[in-house]
């Protein structure tokens, strides 16, 4: 069964945790010094916040699934929506979880994550060398600091770690 996912970057984790705990009527399901997650059943949503240097606001949206089969079905849908904009990240550690995932980018450049979580992890992420900003969000080549003749409107195997803008973007991979 699918669960909608929203990840919001916040300025102050404690203030935001207090706000969302009161708003949702329950404490976070998972809590770290820089991250909190609520697994709500009504509505069925995985709502996460983090304070890791990323621009404040919506970080990304997505769907969490319960099986590899559901993840494969979401990948088909992502490819149908945008055949060239699917970044297969595979197995990764991000947001204190070990998951299998892929990403796509909507026409406005908003990242969508589809993932199947297998287990908890002790670290925020291992997608980049800099653990203070680990976990990647895909970008389009046209969003990078490129000359217009080389820029295209497609996602690449490039992503930006949380905390870097696309124009700063050192690609991970």
Q: What global pTM score does this model have? A: 0.71
Percent of the chain with pLDDT strictly greater than 90: 46
The model's confidence at residue 129, banded by pLDDT at 50, 70 and 90, is very low
Average the pLDDT over each of 33-37, 88-92, 100-104, 159-163 and give the range with the smallest value. Answer: 159-163
Residue-wise pLDDT for 21-42, tens only, equals 999 999 999 999 999 999 999 9
Domain boundaries, the chain: 3-119
Kindly tell me if the per-residue pLDDT of 89 is higher than 60: yes
User: What is the average pLDDT value for the chain, to the nearest integer?
Assistant: 76
Kindly tell me if the per-residue pLDDT of 161 is higher than 50: no
Residue-wise pLDDT for 140-149, tens only, equals 544 443 333 3
Q: In what order do the strands lie in the sheet with 111-120?
A: 30-32, 35-41, 44-50, 3-9, 57-65, 111-120, 97-105, 86-94
The C-alpha atoms of residue 46 and residue 61 are separated, in whole angstroms, by: 10
The model's confidence at residue 127, banded by pLDDT at 50, 70 and 90, is low
Residue holding tokens 């102050």?
12
Residue 135 has a pLDDT of 59
| CB 144 within 8 Å of CB 167 | yes
Which overall architecture, per CATH, does domain 3-119 show?
Answer: Roll (3.10)
């Amino acid at each position: 069964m699918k669960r909608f996912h929203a990840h919001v970057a916040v300025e102050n984790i404690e203030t935001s945790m207090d706000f969302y705990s009161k708003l949702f009527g329950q404490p976070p399901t998972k809590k770290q010094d820089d991250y909190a997650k609520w697994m709500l059943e009504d509505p069925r949503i995985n709502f996460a916040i983090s304070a890791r240097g990323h621009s404040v606001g919506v970080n990304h949206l997505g769907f969490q699934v319960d099986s590899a089969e559901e993840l494969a079905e979401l990948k088909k849908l992502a490819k149908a929506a945008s055949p060239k904009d699917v970044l297969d990240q595979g197995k990764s550690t991000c947001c204190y979880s070990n998951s299998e995932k892929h990403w796509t980018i909507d026409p406005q450049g908003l990242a969508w994550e589809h993932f199947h979580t297998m287990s908890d992890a002790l670290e925020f992420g291992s997608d980049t060398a800099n653990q203070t900003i680990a976990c990647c969000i895909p970008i389009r080549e046209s969003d990078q600091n490129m000359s217009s003749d080389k820029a295209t409107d497609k996602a690449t195997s490039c992503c930006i770690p949380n905390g870097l803008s696309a124009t700063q973007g050192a690609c991970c991979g």
